[in-house]
Protein backbone atom coordinates (compact mmCIF):
# COMPACT_ATOMS: atom_id res chain seq x y z
CA UNK A 1 0.00 0.00 0.00
CA UNK A 2 2.82 2.31 0.95
CA UNK A 3 4.57 1.67 -2.38
CA UNK A 4 1.42 2.31 -4.36
CA UNK A 5 1.07 5.58 -2.53
CA UNK A 6 4.71 6.51 -3.34
CA UNK A 7 4.17 5.56 -6.98
CA UNK A 8 1.09 7.78 -7.22
CA UNK A 9 3.00 10.66 -5.64
CA UNK A 10 5.85 10.18 -8.11
CA UNK A 11 3.53 10.10 -11.14
CA UNK A 12 1.72 13.23 -9.95
CA UNK A 13 5.01 14.97 -9.29
CA UNK A 14 6.41 13.90 -12.66
CA UNK A 15 3.35 15.21 -14.45
CA UNK A 16 3.56 18.47 -12.55
CA UNK A 17 7.22 18.99 -13.41
CA UNK A 18 6.62 18.14 -17.07
CA UNK A 19 8.81 15.05 -17.33
CA UNK A 20 5.95 13.00 -18.68
CA UNK A 21 4.74 13.57 -22.26
CA UNK A 22 7.47 16.06 -23.16
CA UNK A 23 9.82 13.34 -24.28
CA UNK A 24 6.95 11.70 -26.10
CA UNK A 25 6.28 14.92 -27.97
CA UNK A 26 9.96 15.16 -28.82
CA UNK A 27 10.08 11.77 -30.44
CA UNK A 28 6.87 12.09 -32.39
CA UNK A 29 7.47 15.62 -33.60
CA UNK A 30 9.99 16.95 -36.02
CA UNK A 31 13.43 17.41 -34.57
CA UNK A 32 15.36 20.62 -34.83
CA UNK A 33 18.02 18.71 -36.73
CA UNK A 34 15.54 18.07 -39.49
CA UNK A 35 13.87 21.40 -39.63
CA UNK A 36 16.02 23.58 -37.42
CA UNK A 37 15.21 27.03 -36.24
CA UNK A 38 13.64 28.93 -38.99
CA UNK A 39 10.58 30.94 -39.62
CA UNK A 40 8.63 30.07 -42.64
CA UNK A 41 5.52 29.16 -44.37
CA UNK A 42 3.65 26.27 -42.85
CA UNK A 43 5.93 23.31 -43.15
CA UNK A 44 8.89 25.34 -44.12
CA UNK A 45 12.18 23.95 -42.97
CA UNK A 46 15.45 25.75 -42.67
CA UNK A 47 18.61 24.91 -44.47
CA UNK A 48 21.10 24.17 -41.79
CA UNK A 49 24.01 21.84 -41.53
CA UNK A 50 21.94 19.43 -39.47
CA UNK A 51 19.27 19.22 -42.06
CA UNK A 52 21.39 17.50 -44.63
CA UNK A 53 24.10 15.98 -42.48
CA UNK A 54 21.55 13.66 -41.01
CA UNK A 55 19.80 12.28 -44.02
CA UNK A 56 16.31 11.17 -43.36
CA UNK A 57 14.81 8.17 -44.91
CA UNK A 58 11.07 8.11 -44.80
CA UNK A 59 9.91 5.40 -42.49
CA UNK A 60 6.84 5.27 -40.31
CA UNK A 61 8.97 6.36 -37.39
CA UNK A 62 10.84 9.15 -39.08
CA UNK A 63 9.81 12.76 -38.84
CA UNK A 64 6.55 14.54 -38.30
CA UNK A 65 3.78 14.56 -40.88
CA UNK A 66 4.33 18.26 -41.50
CA UNK A 67 7.83 17.87 -42.85
CA UNK A 68 8.11 14.20 -43.66
CA UNK A 69 10.16 13.92 -46.77
CA UNK A 70 8.86 12.00 -49.75
CA UNK A 71 9.74 8.29 -49.55
CA UNK A 72 12.45 8.71 -52.16
CA UNK A 73 13.84 11.92 -50.68
CA UNK A 74 16.47 10.01 -48.74
CA UNK A 75 18.36 13.09 -47.71
CA UNK A 76 15.45 15.38 -46.88
CA UNK A 77 16.63 17.94 -49.41
CA UNK A 78 13.21 18.81 -50.80
CA UNK A 79 12.11 20.64 -47.64
CA UNK A 80 15.36 22.58 -47.67
CA UNK A 81 14.78 23.61 -51.27
CA UNK A 82 11.27 24.66 -50.36
CA UNK A 83 12.71 26.86 -47.58
CA UNK A 84 15.06 28.46 -50.11
CA UNK A 85 12.11 29.12 -52.40
CA UNK A 86 10.17 30.85 -49.63
CA UNK A 87 13.11 33.10 -48.85
CA UNK A 88 13.41 33.94 -52.53
CA UNK A 89 9.74 34.93 -52.59
CA UNK A 90 10.19 37.14 -49.52
CA UNK A 91 13.11 38.79 -51.25
CA UNK A 92 10.76 39.99 -53.93
CA UNK A 93 8.30 41.71 -51.60
CA UNK A 94 7.69 45.11 -53.12
CA UNK A 95 5.20 47.90 -52.57
CA UNK A 96 4.01 49.73 -55.63
CA UNK A 97 2.67 53.23 -55.01
CA UNK A 98 0.93 55.47 -57.53
CA UNK A 99 3.28 57.80 -59.39
CA UNK A 100 1.42 60.87 -58.25
CA UNK A 101 -1.85 61.71 -56.54
Partner 1 sequence: MKPTNIFRILTPLILALFILSLFSGSVAAQTTAREQYEKTKEQYQVQKEKFDNTRKQFEDAKKLFEEANKKFKNVRDNKSDNRSKEELMEKAREYILRAINHTEAQLQVMKNRLDNPENKGILASDAIKIIDAHTAQLEQMKGNVSQATTIDEIRAAHKELAGIVAKINLETRYFMGMVLNHRIDNFINQTDNVSAKVDDAVAKLKANGTDTEELESDAAEFKNKVKEAKDIQAQTVALFATHSGFAADGTVTNEKDARDFLKKANELQRDTIKRLKEAGKQLIEFGKEFRKLARGKVKVSEKGELEINGEATTTLTAK
**Distance, CA of 58 to CA of 30 (rounded, Å):** 13
In terms of Cβ atoms closer than 10 Å to its own Cβ (0-12, 13-18, 19+), residue 33 is middle
Residues 42-101 binding partner 1 (CB under 8 A) are: 42, 44, 46-49, 51-57, 59, 61-63, 70-75, 77-78, 80-81, 83-85, 87-88, 90-95, 97-98, 100-101
Other C-beta atoms closer than 10 Å to the C-beta of 67 total 21
**Distance, CA of 38 to CA of 54 (rounded, Å):** 17
Does residue 12 bind partner 1 (CB under 8 A)? Answer: yes
Contact footprint for partner 1 (CB under 8 A): 6, 9-10, 12-14, 16-19, 22-23, 25-26, 29-32, 34-42, 44, 46-49, 51-57, 59, 61-63, 70-75, 77-78, 80-81, 83-85, 87-88, 90-95, 97-98, 100-101
Amino acid sequence: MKWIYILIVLVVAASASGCVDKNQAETTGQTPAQTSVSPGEPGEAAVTPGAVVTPVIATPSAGSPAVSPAPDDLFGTESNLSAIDTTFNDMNMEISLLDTI
